[in-house]
Chains A and B, each alone.
Chain A
Amino acid sequence: MKRWTYGLLILVMALVLAACGTGESVDIGAESTVAGDDTATTSGGADTTTAGDTTEAGTDTTGATETTEGDTPATTAPGGGGGELIAAQGSEPDRFDPHLTSAYASFQVLENVYDTLVQPGADLSMQPALAEEWEVSEDQLTWTFTLREGVTFHNGRDLIANDVVYSYERIMDEETAAANAYRFASVESVTAPDDRTVAVTLNRPTPNLLVNIGGFKGMAIIPREIVEDGSIDNQPVGTGPFRFVSRSPDQGIVLEANPDYWGDGPNLDGIRFVQMPDANAKLTALRTGEVHWIDTVPPQELETLSSEEGITVEQVAGSDYHYFALNQNREPFGNVDVRRAIAMAIDRDDITEAAQFGAATANQTAIPASNETWYHEYAPFEPSNLEEAESLLDAAGVSDLTMEMMVTSEFPETVTQAQVIASQLSQIGITVEISDVDFATWLARQGDADFDAFMLSWVGNIDPDDFYYAQHHSEGGFNFQGYSNPEVDQLLDDARVETDEAARKTLYDRAAEMIVDEASYIFLYNPNNTGAWSSDVSGYNVRGDNAVRFVETSLGG
């Protein structure tokens, strides 16, 4: 075998790779990498940044000098000269179009890049953001927002009222197919009388409009040019405290400080989000100082981690809630007594302890106590009330019931909960068969109403409409369990348009009581939101809505 045969070999390998290539976007570096393969190889992207070796918090050489093809102006001295924060996130963001993504990992990044007209403060009440002030017309059908002056997008262009109109119309447009279009269900039109004024016209009073347009960054204000040139998913441009720089599998997601940010901050030079799908790897990286911040802490690790030096752990009552639901279109679960019997036989404290190691608060309704405006204290079921549960089952003529409980390892706590519930229900003669399926299957079966019971959680809501309407109204889009009570429908419809807050709360309280009494869902608990970071990090707090905001964060504190 002669030299030329090696050459040929290399050629063949290159050809195979080239066959997978699309031409222009192919990174030549990566190909030659393979071709020259008998010595240890090169890194493909020739343009990478500083080694970005994370360790000591002091190594804050600007990862900001690297730019991508675009026009990112990295010259201006950013905010407080506070270094680059390395943040480890547990899952991989999908896309960066805020109107189209539904991945929490994407929003961890986008929270720092985009703004909404209003935004939830630490107590989750709606505060001014891009809109400085607003007023509501007498008939409650027109809301007029005044935009803050001097706000610019990261591409340098001034924010004007038309950008708000464009963003909202894009979300509402059926063509966009945005999952959040429903938040504009009551919006008739959005107009811009002048560059700093936005008028939102409604077809019915909408007391929770502010939550709808500002509750999270899925309602972000975007510049139309990044939609038109198609860069929105790869190079998002917002008005937020950090500018998007780049994303690559080896460097993670790089953001840099926006010196023209309209609010206070940012203090950091930049943020680098790295993806660590393995929870232990994430914890270790925090312990060894390779990352400064990690998103969630597995509940069983909270205690150990809090006692470690150099690490701050925080947990805050969250607004997610865990529940399970019974298929009311399947017998015997259509019988309210059977559902109530099941709701009575369980012990929420045991479930909470087993699944969350106590880092949660048992709750028989959906809205957590930390939601001061809308919390309604209501707990009709005593824990493990086996006698009454059994007599209800007897009355319903149900014995030797075997039911399937559908859970998914994607959310491992649901598996644990199902095991606890199975043992609790066995005490009243119900056999629970746990089906642990993957999430895609879970969703498909839920959508097809192919289940006896399923268990999951809903994430971070603020307004009671988000907690109850879609899940329990008989026309609700997420009412997979088939609950239908005209009285509850009426209450939920009325509460939607009731502008007096106290009256509105009364309506929701009554609806919630009926939903709980009739066990449309069997609510379990509200988990705590958790996070942990190195003691070098200051100015960060875990939030009730689990939004990840680094605008006030500093390093080396």
Chain B
Amino acid sequence: MIAFIVRRTLQMLLALFGVSIVVFALIQMVDGDPIRIALGTRFDPELYQRLLERSGLDRPLLEQYFTWLGSAVTGDLGVSFRTGQPVTEMVLERLPATIQLALVALLIALIVAIPAGIISAVRSGRPVDYGVTALSQVGVSMPDFWAGVMYILVFSLTLSWLPSAGYVGLFDDPVAWVKHILLPALTVGLISGSIITRFVRSSVVEAANQDYVRTAKAKGLGEWGIIRDHVLPNAWISIVTVVGLQLGFLLGGVVVVETVFAWPGLGRLALTAVESRDFTVLQGAVLYIAAMFLVVNLVVDIVYARLDPRVRIG
């Protein structure tokens, strides 16, 4: 087990290294640089040159990359070209909001998806199933910016129940926290939930068609007993996979929803970084997002082993 985690951690570092090269290469391919954008229309070639030299952006690309890498391995991700703030600080400042939104959204998604998916599978081909399938189709197809705006329209503007934007810390005021997080979490949570519902349904249906289920039926076990003891344990693996993917995706920050609800998360940070070609910040944010994905993957693998004794790791 320990050997497995160590090996996976090393693989992760390698993957992060690869990610950093890709991000660096991509950002070089687009026009513009942070200095030019900061100067905006007031462009002055001499000034531009001076600022470029100061920022180190005039040096050869390889040198730039290795300078960055050199300090990155010591934990220093550099400073933002735009704000002069350390990148690590900027990412960490936005982490709590992102993680909270991701977890609450996932919670909402699971509360919706697990029962809905199971019921729909068990009653496959009946009206309930069609209802769930149709609703999840709506959920998957609904663009998040539109859903967010609709919730605001209903719950903030018309009913005045919930605030339309902003963020309050959990420990500063738990009630206000719930009010502020509910709409953005609902927006992403229901979309994720719809995706997960479909996976739950299909994996339960698949597991229910196995021979051992027929045997269990033949033994005269009750329907829900079979679901609980024979179907679900075999369906979990694929459900966990999609839940893991969704979590990884949510932890990367949800740009559109963060913008609509003025939620101070990582997605907005990354978006601003792209717009201003603030590539140190972009590197930092993307590395973090990649790390999150990898960690979630690792966790998923470990959970597999726990869920299914046939899977051995180590």
13 more contacts with CB within 8 A, not counting A439-B32, A447-B45, are A12-B5, A20-B88, A30-B96, A33-B96, A40-B104, A42-B170, A50-B172, A249-B94, A250-B167, A278-B260, A278-B262, A440-B30, A441-B32
Question: B295 and A40: CB pair below 8 A?
Answer: no
- Report A's interface with B, CB cutoff 8 A: 1, 5, 8-9, 12-13, 15-23, 25-27, 29-30, 33-34, 37, 40-46, 48-55, 92, 94-95, 97, 102-103, 174, 177, 179, 181-182, 233-234, 248-250, 274-278, 280-281, 284-285, 287-288, 290, 410, 437-441, 443-447, 456, 458, 477-478
How far does the alpha carbon of A97 sit from the alpha carbon of B84 in the complex, in Å?
10
Q: For the complex, would chain B's binding face be called helix, strand, loop or mixed by DSSP majority?
A: helix
How far does the alpha carbon of A44 sit from the alpha carbon of B99 in the complex, in Å?
10
Interface string of B159-185 (1 = CB under 8 A from A): 010011111111111001100000000
Contacts of A440 in B (CB 8 A): 30-33, 36-37, 275-277
B157 on the A face (CB < 8 A): yes
B169 nearest in chain A by CB position? A43
- A-B pairs with beta carbons under 8 Å apart, 11 shown: A5-B302, A19-B75, A19-B291, A20-B287, A23-B75, A37-B103, A45-B169, A51-B173, A179-B39, A456-B41, A478-B43
Contacts of A97 in B (CB 8 A): 84
B95 partner, pick from A12, A30, A275, A290, beta carbons under 8 A:
A30
In the complex, chain B residues 253-275 whose Cβ is within 8 Å of any chain A Cβ: 259-262, 264, 268-269, 272, 275
How far does the alpha carbon of A409 sit from the alpha carbon of B166 in the complex, in Å?
26
Chain B interface size, under 10 / 10 to 19 / 20 to 34 / 35 or more: 35 or more
How far does the alpha carbon of A276 sit from the alpha carbon of B260 in the complex, in Å?
8
Check A22/B88 contact, CB under 8 A, given A1-B302, A51-B168. yes
A91 nearest in chain B by CB position? B272
Question: A44 and B170: CB pair below 8 A?
Answer: no
Question: A1 and B305: CB pair below 8 A?
Answer: yes
Q: For the complex, would chain A's binding face be called helix, strand, loop or mixed by DSSP majority?
A: loop
How far does the alpha carbon of A463 sit from the alpha carbon of B152 in the complex, in Å?
44
| Number of interchain pairs (Cβ within 8 Å) | 236
- Report B's interface with A, CB cutoff 8 A: 1-2, 5, 9, 12, 30-33, 36-45, 47, 50-51, 54, 75-77, 82-86, 88-89, 91-97, 99-100, 103-104, 107, 149, 152, 156-157, 160, 163-173, 176-177, 259-262, 264, 268-269, 272, 275-277, 284, 287-288, 291, 295, 298-299, 302, 305-306
Question: A438 and B103: CB pair below 8 A?
Answer: no
Contacts of A288 in B (CB 8 A): 156-157, 160, 163-164
Contacts of B44 in A (CB 8 A): 179, 182, 477
Q: Determine how close the nearest CB of chain A comes to the CB of B243; give it in whole angstroms.
A: 13
Contacts of B9 in A (CB 8 A): 12, 15
B264 partner, pick from A250, A280, A438, beta carbons under 8 A:
A250
A443 partner, pick from B41, B165, B177, beta carbons under 8 A:
B41
Question: B96 and A21: CB pair below 8 A?
Answer: no
Contacts of A437 in B (CB 8 A): 31
Question: B5 and A27: CB pair below 8 A?
Answer: no
A20 partner, pick from B41, B50, B91, beta carbons under 8 A:
B91
Question: A250 and B169: CB pair below 8 A?
Answer: yes
B38 nearest in chain A by CB position? A102
A249 partner, pick from B50, B82, B173, B264, beta carbons under 8 A:
B264
Q: Determine how close the nearest CB of chain B comes to the CB of A493; give it in whole angstroms.
A: 19
Question: B97 and A249: CB pair below 8 A?
Answer: yes
How far does the alpha carbon of A103 sit from the alpha carbon of B277 in the complex, in Å?
15
B295 partner, pick from A12, A182, A438, A444, beta carbons under 8 A:
A12
Question: B262 and A177: CB pair below 8 A?
Answer: no
Question: A280 and B149: CB pair below 8 A?
Answer: yes
